[in-house]
Homo-oligomer: A and B are copies of this chain.
Amino acid sequence: MGILERRQRQKEEVKNDIICTAWQMVKKEGWQALSIRKIADAIEYSVPVIYDHFENKDAILLEFSKKGFMILSAKIIEAKDRYKEPEEQIKAMADAYWNFAMDNKEHYQLMFGIGMPCCEISKAMPEQEKFRSLVLQPIDDVIKKSGRTDINSCLKYHTFWSVMHGLISIKIIGNSAIDEELNKMVLDDAIAGFIKNLS
C-alpha cells in the first residue's frame, strides 16, 4: 500500500518548500535575516513543523553550505575538463572558482562564514591610505630594484593581502582541520613565491 510512500512524498515536499523559502530569504536579505518564524509564515505551517525536518536553524544554513560546495565542485570539474594542459586547467579552475563566488555570493558567504552584521571593512580600517602605503612601499622598492616596469605595485599589494587573509581565514574557520605546521609553511612558501615574482 502506497499510503506511507505518499506521506513520505508529501513530507519531502514540505521540506523542499522550507528550503526554497529559506533560500529566497537568504538571497533577498542575507543569512542574518533568516528566521524560523518567517519561514513558517511563508510556507503556511506552524513553527514546530520546521523542526520535524531540520534539527535547528543552523542545519538549514548548513544545507546551503553543502549545496554550495556541490555546485562549486561541479563548476571546477567542468572547467578542468575543458582543457588538457595542467597549466590551462589551473587557470580555468581559478576562473571557475572566481565566477562561482561572484555568481553565488550568498552560497559563498555561508560556505566560508563571511560577513558579520557590524563590520564593513572600510568603516573599521582607520587611515586607510596610511595602512596601504605602509605595505605598498617595500613592494614598490623590490620592483624598482629589479628595474622592471611591467609590474603594477598596486596589484601586488592586493595579492599580498589576499594571500595573507585567505590562508589565515581558512585556518581560523577550518578549526585545525588542516595540519598546524603546514599552514605556516604555506605562508612562507606563498610569500617567498610572491617576492620572487616581483623581480
Interface, chain A (partner B; CB < 8 A): 31, 57-59, 61-62, 65-66, 68-70, 73, 76-77, 80, 86-87, 89-91, 93-94, 97-98, 101-102, 105, 108-127, 130-131, 134-135, 137-139, 141-142, 145, 152, 154-156, 158-170, 172-175, 177-178, 182-187, 189-197
Contacts and interface: CB of A to CB of B under 8 A. Distances in A.
Contacts of A134: 73, 76-77, 80
B114 A195 contact: no
Given A62-B119, A118-B58, A159 B163 contact: yes
A80 B135 CA distance: 9
A197 B195 contact: no
Contact of A117 (B58, B125, B178, B193): B58
Of residues A66, A134, A190, which shows the largest number of chain B Cβ atoms within 10 Å of its Cβ?
A: A190
A182 B132 CA distance: 15
A22 to B, nearest CB: 12
Contacts of A62: 118-119, 123-124
Nearest to A142: B86
Contact of A172 (B105, B138, B190): B105
Contacts of A141: 86, 89
A185 B155 contact: yes
A98 B162 contact: no
Nearest to A122: B177
Of residues A62, A76, A163, which shows the largest number of chain B Cβ atoms within 10 Å of its Cβ?
A: A163
B172 A159 contact: no
